[in-house]
């Protein structure tokens, strides 16, 4: 049995079709079909149930798939050992992240990463769907929000901090709120989608207010909420790095600066901390370094300054050992992880 046969079978299962697997492997659909058929003949069992609409694993096929993934992982471990000795990141980095945070930050990280390491290529999937990074063959996922427990590993990159903002045109019509309770008399614009409800949690020292909203507008896209705020339609809660350019341009003003919203954690999720290839380690180290002071809560939060820090375009790169040397521990998370709010 050849490794190429195992690779073909695993890719067909991961992509869910011979056509997509052929595209991923840069080969012909008919060739992959022959390879898998021959593999079934060698084993004397049917691995896949084929219909005109979909492919599915048989019971024995699922067991064989799990073992094949393990065999290929062992081969990759040997390759990683060689790459680690060479030190320079190389190969294809497959990563996934949410659409909005991808546009806010990850796209910039990718650009810096490719500039830094000329021997790597990036295959990025910006999506809001639930992704099983192991079965779908991703090296790393960037996730915003709490993570579920599992056997995967997570490295905390930082946190997103939030503030409240309104346009000068809106504040010319309505007096700025001085307390959370004042929001009851204001038009509010809310990010609300999926499990996220139209509620703002606001804290000051030991005091906490939970504001149930009746928003004039709610949307599951933070850029739509920001644009509505810039348009003078009301008060919005926004991530500092989303609001920063509009604040710097004088299009938004920070409000309720003595109050804070809960910070949202950002993690890199990957299969194993033990066998990190240089390409994965290099990207995660870059991401840790690239997190903004405002996003991590290390700088002035938006609202204490008229000009929150804008995203960096070329962050410095820390030492390769940084991911394991930092005090922040790794944690285990779910294989299938979904998007959270940006």
Q: What are the pLDDT digits (tens) for 295-342?
A: 443 333 333 333 333 333 333 222 222 222 222 334 434 444 444 456
Query: Domains, the chain, ranges and CATH?
Result: 3-81 (1.10.10.10), 87-161+264-337 (3.40.190.10), 162-255 (3.40.190.290)
328 touches 156 (CB < 8 A): yes
Tell me the pLDDT tens digit for each residue of 37-82.
998 898 888 888 887 777 888 888 888 888 888 888 888 777 766 6
Tell me the pLDDT tens digit for each residue of 200-226.
999 998 888 898 888 899 888 899 999
For residues 249 and 306, what is the distance between their CA atoms, to the nearest angstrom? 10
Q: What's residue 125's pLDDT?
A: 93
Helix ranges, 174-267 (H): 222-230, 240-248
pLDDT over 70 percentage in the chain? 79
For residues 271 and 335, what is the distance between their CA atoms, to the nearest angstrom? 8
Q: What's residue 313's pLDDT?
A: 33
Q: What's residue 256's pLDDT?
A: 95
Q: What's residue 191's pLDDT?
A: 87
**Residue 303 burial (CB count, 10 A):** 23
Spatial CB neighbours of 220, under 8 Å, sequence gap ≥ 6: 191, 192, 193, 194, 196
Q: What's residue 149's pLDDT?
A: 62
Beta strands in 29-139 (DSSP E): 48-50, 55-57, 91-97, 120-126, 131-132
If you average pLDDT over residues 224-240, what whole number do you get?
95
For residues 306 and 130, what is the distance between their CA atoms, to the nearest angstrom? 37
Q: What pTM did the predictor assign?
A: 0.62
Among the listed residues 222, 227, 120, the one whose alpha carbon sits nearest the alpha carbon of residue 167: 227
Residue 83 pLDDT > 70:
no
Least confident range from 41-55, 77-91, 113-127: namely 77-91
Tell me the pLDDT tens digit for each residue of 238-293.
999 899 999 999 999 999 999 999 999 999 998 876 667 889 989 999 999 887 54
Question: What are the structure tokens assigned to 260, written together?
Answer: 């804070």
């Amino acid at each position: 049995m050849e490794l190429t046969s195992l690779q073909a079978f695993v890719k067909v299962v991961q992509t869910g079709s011979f056509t997509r697997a052929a595209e991923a492997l840069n080969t012909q659909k008919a060739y992959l079909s022959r390879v898998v058929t021959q593999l079934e003949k060698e084993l004397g069992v049917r691995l896949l149930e084929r219909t005109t609409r979909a492919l599915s694993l048989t019971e024995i096929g699922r067991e064989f798939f799990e073992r094949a993934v393990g065999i290929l992982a062992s081969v990759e471990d040997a390759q990683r050992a060689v790459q680690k000795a060479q030190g320079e990141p190389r190969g294809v980095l497959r990563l996934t992240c949410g659409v909005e945070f991808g546009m806010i930050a990850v796209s910039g990280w990718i650009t810096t990463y490719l500039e830094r390491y000329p021997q790597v290529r990036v295959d990025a999937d910006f999506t809001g769907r639930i992704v099983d990074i192991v079965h779908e063959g991703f090296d790393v996922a960037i996730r915003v929000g709490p993570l579920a427990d599992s056997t995967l590993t997570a490295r905390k990159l930082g946190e997103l901090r939030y503030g409240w903002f309104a346009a000068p045109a809106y504040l010319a019509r309505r007096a700025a709120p001085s307390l959370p309770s004042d929001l009851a008399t204001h038009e509010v614009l809310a990010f609300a989608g999926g499990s996220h409800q139209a509620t703002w949690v606001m804290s000051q020292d030991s005091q906490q207010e939970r504001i149930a909203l009746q928003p004039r507008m709610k949307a599951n896209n933070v850029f739509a909420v920001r644009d509505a705020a810039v348009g003078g339609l009301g008060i919005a809660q926004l991530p500092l790095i989303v609001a920063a350019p509009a604040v710097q341009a004088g299009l938004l003003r920070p409000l309720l600066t003595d109050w804070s919203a809960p910070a949202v954690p950002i993690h890199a999720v990957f299969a194993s901390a033990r066998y990190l290839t240089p390409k994965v380690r290099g990207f995660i180290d870059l991401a840790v370094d690239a997190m903004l002071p405002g996003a991590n809560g290390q700088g002035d939060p938006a609202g204490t300054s008229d000009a929150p820090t804008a995203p960096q375009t070329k962050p410095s790169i820390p030492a390769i050992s940084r991911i394991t040397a930092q005090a922040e521990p790794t944690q285990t998370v779910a294989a299938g992880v979904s998007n959270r709010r940006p």
